[in-house]
Structure 1
Amino acid sequence: LILENKSRNTYENAVFTKELVTPKPGETWLLVTSAFHMPRAKALFDKAGFATVPWPVDYRTSGKEGIGLFRDNPADSLQATTMAIREWIGLFAYWLSGRINQPFPGG
């Protein structure tokens, strides 16, 4: 386990981690981060030229959510919405700045 501790954001984390571990062809590296953050992190590591296998953790839902006005705590819903909007803004901003190749990267 190697931890990079100089970065201030995900872009720097991708660049600094690649420099720190100098991945070699044929090696398999796991990218471990929160599931909600994985699309942006994976896109940044890809753009930095660091091939990784996504390993999402810290899921924010149970997978059993449903649609309905009283199915969830309003505060939890607001927190999840705020987190999603922040990630979408981050994806869009990184795309506009050229740090990722597309605003909504696919698998």
Structure 2
Amino acid sequence: MVAQRHLRHVGKDCLVAFYVNLCSVRARRVRPRQLVEVRVTKSHVMLHATVADHGGETLLVTHPRAAGRGVTTGDGSLPRPRRHDAPGSQAGSRSPRSRSVAGV
């Protein structure tokens, strides 16, 4: 098996960018900005820790390689990262201009 090896940082959302795709890893296994090794074969992407755990393992997760560009790979059970909305645009909140003023 021939594999390409690259070093990447884990994002705050537990995603690792590789070329134009993102690979997910469980938050329990990593911390934000942790350096991980990405090993890529023709059919799979494997994320490895740079330091072995207490059992001597470095493999964090294996995903099938994405077929397209801009794809997030994962096992499907990971929650999607939440996007921060602009202030006042959250459900149930109203902007100052939309408030009704009594007696006007």
Q: TM-score range by the shorter chain?
A: under 0.3
Which structure would you say has the larger Rg? 2
Greater relative CO, 1 or 2 (CA 8 Å, sep 6+): 1
TM-score by length of 2: 0.22
TM-score by length of 1: 0.21
Q: Which has the higher helix share?
A: 1
